A and B are shown apart, each in its own frame.
Chain A
Amino acid sequence: DAGVTQSPTHLIKTRGQHVTLRCSPISGHKSVSWYQQVLGQGPQFIFQYYEKEERGRGNFPDRFSARQFPNYSSELNVNALLLGDSALYLCASSGQGNTIYFGEGSWLTVV
């Protein structure tokens, strides 16, 4: 079975641009969460979606938004990119079990 898949794996954007990151959860998982991991730190929670509804939002500005689709895949959008948005963006998927699985991440560099 496929794990959590994310795309793109690496991307470079210019300050002020917009980025869309995509995530497909493990088959059967209805919950998707997004995390930002800056180099040298632990991941920070951005959003959680369950059954297409936002269930939680972390302490991130309104430039960050997300949504979940009927097939439970998800997008994370970041507008007006800043240099400080450079990070690894991780998508996590969970279902009926207790384990939360992470995808390989999307490395975003803002120049």
Chain B
Amino acid sequence: ELKVEQNPLFLSMQEGKNYTIYCNYSTTSDRLYWYRQDPGKSLESLFVLLSNGAVKQEGRLMASLDTKARLSTLHITAAVHDLSATYFCATQAFGNEKLTFGTGTRLTIIP
């Protein structure tokens, strides 16, 4: 059974600082997704990473994928308050469209 672990579960950081969220998964997978969820809202797609070594950036967020280590990271650069949200990573086993989600990282940016 595919398992996905994120850490940290909770992250409180000051504006302007950098930090990284880690996502480990248990079996081989061909893609890794990152989503953002604001309180009371649905999931907003941030990145889809399709291959080993893939790196994608949007604004202050950058995601990377290491399929050999079964690890993805979401790096936050110079955090701003608007980035406060819960971030989920999710992956799929080969040939299966079912998404298995991590536990989520609740990020709070302190002014």
Number of interface residues of B (CB under 8 A): 21
| CB of B99 closer than 8 Å to a CB of A | yes
Instruction: Give the distance to chain B from A22, nearest Cβ to Cβ, in Å.
Output: 15
Contact of B31 among A35, A43, A98, A103 (CB under 8 A): A98
Q: Chain B residues with Cβ under 8 A from A33's Cβ?
A: 97-99
| CB of B25 closer than 8 Å to a CB of A | no
Kindly report which residue of chain B lies nearest to residue A104, judged by CB atoms: B42
Interface string of B90-106 (1 = CB under 8 A from A): 10000011111111100
Q: Chain B residues with Cβ under 8 A from A105's Cβ?
A: 42
**Given A42-B104, A98-B48, also A48-B43 (CB < 8 A):** no
**Given A42-B103, A98-B48, also A104-B41 (CB < 8 A):** yes
Contact A42 B41 (CB under 8 A): no
Q: Chain B residues with Cβ under 8 A from A56's Cβ?
A: 96-98
Interface residues of A: mostly helix, strand, loop or mixed?
strand
| CB of A96 closer than 8 Å to a CB of B | no
Contact B98 A43 (CB under 8 A): no
Q: Chain A residues with Cβ under 8 A from B99's Cβ?
A: 33, 35, 43, 45, 92, 100
Interface residues of B (CB under 8 A from A): 31, 33, 35, 41-45, 48, 50, 88, 90, 96-104
